[in-house]
Amino acid sequence: MSAAIEVSNLAKVFGGLRAVDGVTLHVAPGERRALIGPNGAGKTTLFHCVTGTLLASSGQVRLFGHDVTHLPDYRRTELGMGRTFQITNVFTELSLAENLVLSIIGTDRRKWIMHQPLSAFPAIREQALAGLEAVGLADRSDQPVKLLSYGERRQLELALALNTNPKVLFLDEPCAGLSPGERARIFNMVRALPRDITVILIEHDMDVALGLADRVTVMNRGRVMAEGTPEDVQANPEVRDVYFGHA
Amino acid sequence: MNSGVLQAINGISFAALLFLLASGFTLSFGLMRVVNMAHGAYYLLGGYIGLSITRYTGSFALGVLGGGLAIIPIGYLIDRHFIRRTGENHLAQVLLTVGIAFVIGDVALKIWGGDNLKVPTPIELRGAIELPGGIIYPTYRFVLILFGILVGLSLWLIYHKTQIGAVVRAGVDDRETVSAIGINIDRLFVLVSAMASFLAGMAGVVGGAFLTLYPGAEWEILIYALVVVIFGGLGSLEGAMIGALIVGLLDAYGRWLLPEFSYFVLFGPMAILLLFRPQGIFGRES
Amino acid sequence: MGSYRIVLGLVALAAALLAPLAVGQFWMTLITQIYIYGLLALSVDLLLGHAGLYSLCHASFFAIAAYTTAILQVRHGVPTLLAAPAGILAGTLLAILYGASVRTRGVYFILITIALGYIIWGAVYRWASFTGGDNGITNVPPPSIGSVTVASQTAYYYFALAVVLLCALGYRILIRSPFGLSLRGIKASESRMRSLGYRTTKHLYVAFVISGAMASLAGVLYVYYNRFINPVAASFQISVEVSLMAIVGGSGTIIGPFLGSGIVLGLRNWVSSFFEFHAAVMGIVFIATILWAPHGIVGFFSRLHARGAKTKTAPP
C-alpha cells in the first residue's frame, strides 16, 4: 500500500539559502502527521513544494505513488491535495457562500458553465451552506468576508480546504492567532475528520499538534531532525533542546 | 551595404533618444512602483520649453538644460499630489497619468500651437560629417549618439559605483528593507523622480531638434519608450539600454525595408518575446 | 434583486423605448452612440470588473471588426448577413491571438495590451493601400437583410438598443454563472483559486476572448451607425476612454459602463460646444474620477443606499 505522501530528498533553494535541505518523509494513508519546528525551519516552504505553490529545486514528491513533483498546484489539487495557508488566503471581496461555492466546484467540471446562473444549481448552494455550517458560519453565509473577524476567517480558510474533496489535507498553522475557544473548535473539527482523509499539519501549539498527531516530524534548519510518536518526540533530548533549551 | 550601415546608425541615434526617456521611466517603476504615462507629455513640454528658451537666448545648450530643469518641479508636483494617492494601483496610475498627459497636451497646444516646430540647433551641429567608410551622416544625429553614450555611462556609473546609486539599487530590490534600515526612502523617491523628469524634459529638446515637436508626439514617443521597457524589463537600467538599442534598430530597419509594416517589425518580436519571457530581458518575474 | 431596482430598470427601459418619440434627431444619435460605446465599455469591464485584468487594447477588436465589415460591404459587395458575422469573427480571432497576453499579470499585462493595441492602430494607419489610411473607409451602406434595411436614424436606434439589450441579458447570465464567479475569485485571490484546482490562466484566456467578441460586436454596430471607419477607432485613446467609462459608471455592474458612456460622451458633447480643448476636459474627468470617485456612479449610490438602509447583501 503506497504512502499517501512520499517526499524524497526534497530541497528548495533561494539564492544562497537552502530553505529545505534534503527532506524525506513518508505519510501513510489516513495518518495524522504533525510537522513541528522553530520558526524558519522550512515547514511552510516544504508545504509549498509538496502542494505545488512552489516548485522544488530537487527531489521528488509522490501522491499515492503518483509522481507530482513537476505538476502545477491546481493539478495537484485535482489529484486530491487540499491546503490551508499560514497567512489567511480567502476571498475577502466575495460572500462566505461564494467562497465555499468556489471551493466546491474547483475540482468539478461545472466551474466552466457560462450559460446558466449559479442559482440554477441549488444543490451547490446547499453544499456550500452545509460546509459553512460545519465551521459554524452558516448564519453569515451571504455577508462579505471582509466583515469577518480574524478567527472567523481562519475557520473559513479551513472550510475552503475541506470542500475541495481532498484525500490529503495540508493545514498550515490552522490555529494561529485564535482564541482558546476557537482553537478547541478547530481541534475538534480536525479530530472528527474521517480516516479516508490523510492530515498533515504544521502547528506551533504543542497541545494541538501532539493531541491530534499519530506521528510527529520535527524540522530544524531545513532538515528533519527527529521523527516518531508524540511521546518519542517529546522525550527526545535534541528536540527539547531546540524548543526549550536554547536562549 | 552602405544603406544597411546607415540604417544602423539611424537606429542607434534613435536608441540614444529613447534611452533618455526610457531610463527614467523604468527606474521610476523599479523604485516607486509607478507607471507614469505622462512621461511622453514631459518630453513634449520639456521640448517646447527648451525651444522657447533657445529662441529667446540663442543657446541650444541652455535650451536643453532649461527644458530638463523645467520638468523637475512639474514632475515633483504630479508625483506628490496626484500619483502618490493611487498607491500601487497600476490601472489607476495609468488612467490618472493619461489624464494628466491630456491636460499637459492641451496646455501645450494652447501655448505653442499645432504646427510642427523644430528646436534650432547651433551651427556647429548642423550639416554632415564623414564617417569611416565614406558615409555622410548628419552631424546632429551623430552627436546625439555620443550624448546618449555619455548619459548612459554617467547613469551606469552613478547607479553601480556610487553610494547613492547603491541605495537606489537596494530600494529597487527591496523597498521595505531599505526603509526599515532608516534610509529616507521619500527623499530617494524625490531624487529618482527628479532625475526621470529631467531626462524626459531634456529628451524633448534633444528630440525636438530632429524629430520636431507637434501635438501627438508625446504619445508616439511614449509608445516607443514602453516597448523599450517591455523588452528590457521594468526597473532595469541595463534593460533600458539594451531595449533602446533593440527598438531603435528594429524601427530603423523596419521603416527602411517594410515601411507599411514597420510597426509589425517592431511589435512582432516584442509579442514573441512576451510569450516566452513576459518580464522582458532583465526584468524580474512579477 | 431589490424591488426598487426592478422599478428603476423598468423606468429606464421605458425611457429608452420611448426616447425617439420625445427627443430630436441630435439626441437620438447621441444616445445611439452611448449604447455602442457602452457595449464596448461593458466588454472591457468583463475583464476589469470581474477578472481583475486591465486591458487597454480593446479598441483593436472594435476596429478590426468594423474594418472587416466595412471592407467586405464596400469593396466586395458582401451582404450584411455575411459581412457582420465576418466582422465579429475577425475581431474574435484577433482576441484569440492577443489572449496570449493573459500569461502576464498586473502592470506587465497593462503595458503589453497597450503595445498590442498600437500594433493594430499602426497597421490600419500605415497600411493605407488596404485600409484607406487616414481617410479610412467611407460609404458603408446601412445593414440590410433581404429587403429589410435599417436605414433611418430611428430604425438604427432601435436596432442598436435591441442588440445591446440582448447582449446585456447574455452578459448577466455569464457573470452570474459559475464561470463568472470563477473570474471574480481569480480577481480576489488568484493563488487561492489555483490551490482550489482552477487553471486560472485558462479561465482568464476564455474571458479575454469573450470580451474581445463583445468588443467586436460593438465595432460592427459602430461601423453601420457611422457609415465609415477610420484609424481613430483603433486608437489608444479609445481604449483608455472606455476603461474610464466603465470606472466612472461603476465597474462590476451591468449598467455602470452604459452610465459611464453617457457621462463621458455627454460631457464631451456639451464641452466641445464652448471649449475647444476637450482633451484637457477629458483628462480632468480621468483625474477627478481616479482621485475622488473610484467606484463610479453606481458605487456612489450603492454606498448611499447601504448607509441609509439595513442591508442584506443580495446574492448576485
Q: What's the rounded Cα separation, in Å, for the pair B21 and B198?
A: 10
3-class DSSP assignment, residue A173: coil
In a domain? residue C270: no
Distance, in angstroms, between C282 CA and closest chain B CA?
7
CB-based contact (8 Å) between A245 and chain C? no
Assess whether chains A and C touch, using the rule of 3 or more C-beta pairs within 8 angstroms.
yes
User: Which among C190, C242, C287 is the top mutation candidate for probing chain B, defined by the most B β-carbons within 10 Å of its own β-carbon?
Assistant: C287
How far is the CA of C31 from the CAs of C217, C242, C273, in angstroms? 17, 16, 17
| Secondary structure of B140-208 in HEC code, one letter for each residue | HHHHHHHHHHHHHHHHHHHHHHCHHHHHHHHHHHCHHHHHHCCCCHHHHHHHHHHHHHHHHHHHHHHHH
Q: What's the rounded Cα separation, in Å, for the pair B149 and B129?
A: 19
Give the range with max mean pLDDT: A243-247, C205-209, C234-238. Answer: C205-209
Q: Which three cell numbers stand for residue B14?
A: 534613435
Among the listed residues B35, B1, B19, the one whose alpha carbon sits nearest the alpha carbon of residue B247: B19
CB-based contact (8 Å) between A155 and chain C? no
Q: Average pLDDT of A136-142?
A: 88
Q: Which domain holds residue C205?
A: 23-235
Mean pLDDT of chain B: 89
Assess whether chains C and B touch, using the rule of 3 or more C-beta pairs within 8 angstroms.
yes
**Residue B119 dihedral angles phi and psi, to the nearest 5°:** -75, 125
Among the listed residues C36, C43, C27, C58, the one whose alpha carbon sits nearest the alpha carbon of residue C266: C27
Distance, in angstroms, between B233 CA and closest chain C CA?
9
DSSP classification of residue C198: -
Q: Which residues of chain B approach chain C closer than 8 Å at the C-beta?
A: 29, 35, 82, 85-86, 90-92, 94-96, 98-103, 105-107, 109-110, 219, 223, 226-227, 229-230, 234, 259-264, 267, 270-271, 274-275, 278-279, 283, 286
Residue B160's CB: how many other CB atoms inside 10 A? 12
| Gap between the terminal Cα atoms of chain A | 44
**Residue tagged 459602463 (cell numbers):** C257
Q: Which three cell numbers stand for residue C284?
A: 480632468
The band of A245, judged by pLDDT with boundaries at 50, 70 and 90, is: low
Q: How many percent of chain B have pLDDT more than 90?
A: 50
| Cβ contact A111–C176 (<8 Å) | no
CB-based contact (8 Å) between C291 and chain B? yes
pLDDT tens by residue, C167-213? 999 999 999 999 999 999 999 999 999 999 999 999 999 999 999 99
Burial A62-86 (b: 16+ CB within 10 A, else e): bbbeeebbebbbbebbbbbbbbbbb
Q: What's the rounded Cα separation, in Å, for the pair C269 and C294?
A: 23
Burial (CB count <10 Å: 0-12, 13-18, 19+), residue B195: buried
| Cβ contact C115–B98 (<8 Å) | no
| Cβ contact C188–A91 (<8 Å) | yes
Q: What's the rounded Cα separation, in Å, for the pair B235 and B232?
A: 9
Q: Average pLDDT of A85-107?
A: 94
pLDDT tens by residue, C260-277? 999 999 998 888 888 878
Q: Which three cell numbers stand for residue C67?
A: 474594418
Q: Average pLDDT of C87-99?
A: 96
The band of B92, judged by pLDDT with boundaries at 50, 70 and 90, is: confident
Contacts of residue B175, defined as CB under 8 A and 6 or more positions apart, other chains included, come to B31, B33, B185
Q: Average pLDDT of B148-173?
A: 88
C-alpha R_g of chain C: 19
Chain C positions touching A78 (Cβ under 8 A) are 197
In a domain? residue C163: yes
Residue B244: CA atoms inside 13 Å, Cβ hemisphere, count? 29
- E-strand ranges in chain C read 144-145, 148-149
Chain C positions touching A115 (Cβ under 8 A) are 173-174, 177
CB-based contact (8 Å) between C282 and chain B? yes
**ipTM at complex level:** 0.92
| Cβ contact B90–C108 (<8 Å) | no
The amino acid sitting at C114 is I
Q: What's the rounded Cα separation, in Å, for the pair C291 and C234?
A: 27
The band of B88, judged by pLDDT with boundaries at 50, 70 and 90, is: confident
| Cβ contact C240–B98 (<8 Å) | yes
Chain B positions touching C286 (Cβ under 8 A) are 95-96, 98-99, 102
| Cβ contact C197–A107 (<8 Å) | yes
Please check whether residue A166 is in contact with residue C197, taking contact to mean a CB–CB distance below 8 angstroms: no
The pLDDT score that the predictor gives to residue A1 is 60
**Residue tagged 530528498 (cell numbers):** A9
Burial C270-283 (b: 16+ CB within 10 A, else e): ebeeeeebbbbbbb
The pLDDT score that the predictor gives to residue B178 is 78
Q: Measured in whole angstroms, how far is the alpha carbon of residue C282 from the centre of its chain?
A: 18
- DSSP H helices in chain A: 43-51, 73-78, 96-105, 122-134, 150-162, 180-191, 206-212, 230-235, 237-240
Lowest mean pLDDT among A39-48, C205-214, C286-295: C286-295
Q: What's the rounded Cα separation, in Å, for the pair A125 and A123?
A: 5
Please check whether residue B104 is in contact with residue B217, taking contact to mean a CB–CB distance below 8 angstroms: no
The band of A247, judged by pLDDT with boundaries at 50, 70 and 90, is: very low
The domain over range A5-91+165-245 is classified in CATH as 1.20.140.10: no
Whether the per-residue pLDDT at C313 is higher than 50: the answer is no
3-class DSSP assignment, residue A193: coil
C-alpha R_g of chain B: 19
The band of C41, judged by pLDDT with boundaries at 50, 70 and 90, is: very high
Q: What's the rounded Cα separation, in Å, for the pair B3 and C287?
A: 47
Identity of the residue in A83, A85, A142 whose CB atom sits nearest the CB atom of C315: A142
pLDDT tens by residue, B26-56? 988 888 888 899 999 999 999 999 999 999 9
CB-based contact (8 Å) between A90 and chain C? yes
Query: When comparing pLDDT for A229 and B134, which is higher?
Result: A229
**Residue tagged 522550512 (cell numbers):** A42
Angle, vertex CA B111, rays to CA B106 and CA B114, nearest 5 = 70
User: Which among C196, C198, C201, C208 is the top mutation candidate for probing chain A, defined by the most A β-carbons within 10 Å of its own β-carbon?
Assistant: C196
Chain C positions touching B230 (Cβ under 8 A) are 108, 111-112, 115
Lowest mean pLDDT among A186-195, C36-45, C296-305: C296-305
Domains in chain C, number: 1
Q: Average pLDDT of C46-75?
A: 95
Please check whether residue B93 is in contact with residue B38, taking contact to mean a CB–CB distance below 8 angstroms: no
Q: Which three cell numbers stand for residue A219?
A: 524540522
| Cβ contact A110–C178 (<8 Å) | yes
Please check whether residue B36 is in contact with residue B100, taking contact to mean a CB–CB distance below 8 angstroms: no
Strand A58-63 versus strand A66-67 pairing type? antiparallel
CB-based contact (8 Å) between A140 and chain C? no
Query: When comparing pLDDT for B259 and C311, which is higher?
Result: B259
Closest residue in chain B to residue C285, using alpha carbons only:
B99
Q: Measured in whole angstroms, how far is the alpha carbon of residue B87 from the centre of its chain?
A: 23
Q: Which three cell numbers stand for residue C294?
A: 473610484
pLDDT tens by residue, A223-236? 999 999 998 888 88
Whether the per-residue pLDDT at A101 is higher than 90: the answer is yes
pLDDT tens by residue, B193-211? 999 999 999 999 999 998 9
The pLDDT score that the predictor gives to residue C130 is 85
Closest residue in chain A to residue C199, using alpha carbons only:
A74
User: B60-81 vs B185-208: helix axis angle to the nearest 10?
Assistant: 140
The band of C310, judged by pLDDT with boundaries at 50, 70 and 90, is: very low
Chains contacting chain B through 3 or more C-beta pairs under 8 A: C
Q: Average pLDDT of A33-43?
A: 90
3-class DSSP assignment, residue A107: coil
Closest residue in chain C to residue A166, using alpha carbons only:
C196
CB-based contact (8 Å) between A164 and chain C? yes
Mean pLDDT of chain C: 90
How far is the CA of B147 from the CAs of B34, B52, B153, B256, C96, in angstroms? 27, 22, 10, 25, 43
Chain A positions touching C196 (Cβ under 8 A) are 74, 77, 102-103, 106-107, 160, 164
**Residue C24 dihedral angles phi and psi, to the nearest 5°:** -80, 180
Lowest mean pLDDT among A125-129, B160-164, C228-232: B160-164
Q: What's the rounded Cα separation, in Å, for the pair C188 and B66?
A: 47
Chain A positions touching C210 (Cβ under 8 A) are 114
Whether the per-residue pLDDT at C311 is higher than 80: the answer is no
Q: What's the rounded Cα separation, in Å, for the pair B132 and B130?
A: 7
Among the listed residues B122, B126, B119, the one whose alpha carbon sits nearest the alpha carbon of residue B212: B119
Q: Which three cell numbers stand for residue C257?
A: 459602463
| Cβ contact C290–B86 (<8 Å) | yes
CB-based contact (8 Å) between C179 and chain B? no
Please check whether residue C261 is in contact with residue C221, taking contact to mean a CB–CB distance below 8 angstroms: no
Show me where the domains of chain A are located.
5-91+165-245
Closest residue in chain C to residue A72, using alpha carbons only:
C194
Q: Which residues, listed in sequence order, are joined to residue A130 by a DSSP beta bridge?
A: none
Q: What's the rounded Cα separation, in Å, for the pair C215 and C221?
A: 10
Chains contacting chain A through 3 or more C-beta pairs under 8 A: C
Distance, in angstroms, between A120 CA and closest chain C CA?
9
Q: Which three cell numbers stand for residue B170?
A: 537596494
